[in-house]
Chain A
Amino acid sequence: MKYLDTTENRGKRIIITVIGPDRVGIIAGVTGILAENNINILDISQTIMQEFLVMVLIADMEKSKIDLLALKDRLSIKGDELGVRIEAQHEDAFKFMHRV
């Protein structure tokens, strides 16, 4: 997650979390929506926690065609299709809490 340390593009980065049972097509589903809307992925990491897939993506919305609220709606619909929970949040929600 090295990109979170840089100060460029501050305020444009979001964190997308996907939590749910693993299955084929989760990454494709999420990244497809991001590509369609010209949202650049900066970093992806994933882990398995108590048999659930947990995937975290950091993305840059600088050149995005849609705003964060619209993106959330699309991801949420995709999440329902895939049977996982997808959240997109402004990165400050995490940085403020964990970094002084």
Chain B
Amino acid sequence: MLTIQEILETIKMIQEEHLDIRTITMGISLRDCAGGDVRSVCRSIYDKITRLAGNLVPTGEAIAREYGIPIVNKRISVTPISLVAEYDHTEDYLRVAETLDRAAAEVGVNFIGGYSALVHKGSTGGDNVLINSIPAALAGTERVCASVNVATTKAGINMDAVALMGRIIKETAARTADRDGLGCAKLVVFANVPEDNPFMAGAFHGVGEPESVINVGVSGPGVVKRAVEQAGNCDFGTLAETVKKTAFKITRMGELVGRAAAARLGVPFGIVDISLAPTPAVGDSVAEILEAMGLARCGTHGTTAALALLNDAVKKGGAMASSYVGGLSGAFIPVSEDAGMMRAAVEGALGLDKLEAMTCVCSVGLDMIAVPGDTSAETISAIIADEAAIGVVNQKTTAVRIIPAPGKKVGDYVEFGGLLGRAPVMPVHSFSAAAFIKRGGRIPAPIHSLSN
């Protein structure tokens, strides 16, 4: 029996604590669009996306109103374009990027993910063409997001791809220099990438996925923060229990919306990604949850332990609330998109090294971090290699979304606006890793990958 208190709790979560559904992402397979010349590929891609996702935005809006829960983003993920366009041996992948951009605009979604390549063990000719076209594609389109998987626990780390991605990130920044290197905010380098992640910029529709699917990403750091504050001065067991219960409630909303959206659009329901996804809004911050646990600032000693507790409790609560949990499912720590992270970075409490440590115990990686414009490609590659190593050895997803902001130095800011937020430029180590990165080849898979 529902009580008035329960009804008010839900209302309060939505109205005061920023509970929302962060994204409904429709995954669309483009495998049947391959074949023929690049023009016919593009035509098939455009037709298929606009046909399947034509009702995505109105359906999302109707669900949001009926249930009274905001659905912030409606998005699309597609089969990695490296697999779709390779058939033609074309050098003209930009045309495909523009097609994706047009299709996304037509159906009214703000991002479309899948300008992607999976090269964890090595790359094909088509993979290389795609990766090399990323800077131009991200500079020349508005909505397209790119990602490259460079490592898995089973394959090890493709260090050639890691070296290449350092240069690609630099070039992407250069090509979008007039917008503080915005292109880099739409480019993610992964280890152990999930194939059903609904969150941008790293979403794509994996090869094992069905024709079309609905995946949902929830949010709710503000709700967790309030619950932690209300729990007061309790011990860690009680604290974890509080987070768990709250995560359960948040995830149920995602499950409800995902099922409703899938049923109305006539496609299967895939997964709920239970990640705590912050926004730049004050009070909607993962860092502030850690601070509510008793840290004076996120980034100080104790932060990794606090984040580990949070991440684990979110998973335990979320896993019980949804029939299918997937995607990244943890806590995000994007610096520019989280007001508390940003404040900690500005005040010097939070640096790259601590962020790297935090990625060992939470869902993604070094996310939305601005570094000086003169950071070398090799240094960026080395940062990627470190993150990939954490992912590969710990059998988890890690990622790097880093912006070497052109012309900016430590103490400056980059401004991306909207959900991408604003970030202080953070220092990197000045000692070179160039000779290490130059070796090339592949770092072998760890011993515990031999699990058969």
Q: Are B256 and A2 in contact (CB under 8 A)?
A: no
CB contact under 8 A between A45 and B65, given known A93-B10, A98-B10, A98-B249? no
Q: Are A93 and B3 in contact (CB under 8 A)?
A: no
Residue of A nearest to B68 (CB): A89
B62 on the interface (CB 8 Å rule)? yes
User: Per a CB cutoff under 8 Å, which of B2, B8, B10 touches A4?
Assistant: B2
User: Per a CB cutoff under 8 Å, which of A17, A89, A98 touches B67?
Assistant: A89
Residue of A nearest to B61 (CB): A69
Interface size (B, Cβ < 8 Å)? 21
Q: Distance (Å) between the CB of B255 and the closest chain A CB?
A: 7
What B residues does A95 contact at CB under 8 A? 2
Query: Is chain B's binding surface mostly helix, strand, loop or mixed?
Result: helix
State the CA gap A94–B1 with chains docked (Å): 11
A15 on the interface (CB 8 Å rule)? yes
Q: For chain A, residues 52 to 91, give those with C-beta under 8 angstroms from any C-beta of chain B.
A: 54, 56, 68-69, 72, 87-90
B11 on the interface (CB 8 Å rule)? yes
A23 on the interface (CB 8 Å rule)? no
What A residues does B4 contact at CB under 8 A? 1, 45, 47, 54, 56
> How many pairs of residues, A versus B, come closer than 8 Å at their CB atoms?
65
B7 on the interface (CB 8 Å rule)? yes
A49 on the interface (CB 8 Å rule)? yes
State the CA gap A20–B311 with chains docked (Å): 37
Q: Are B66 and A94 in contact (CB under 8 A)?
A: no
What B residues does A97 contact at CB under 8 A? 6, 10, 249, 252-253, 256
User: Per a CB cutoff under 8 Å, which of B11, B65, B253 touches A72?
Assistant: B65
Residue of A nearest to B13 (CB): A97
State the CA gap A97–B9 with chains docked (Å): 10
What A residues does B255 contact at CB under 8 A? 96
State the CA gap A98–B1 with chains docked (Å): 9
B69 on the interface (CB 8 Å rule)? yes
What B residues does A8 contact at CB under 8 A? none
State the CA gap A49–B7 with chains docked (Å): 13
CB contact under 8 A between A93 and B2, given known A68-B66, A69-B65, A98-B249? no
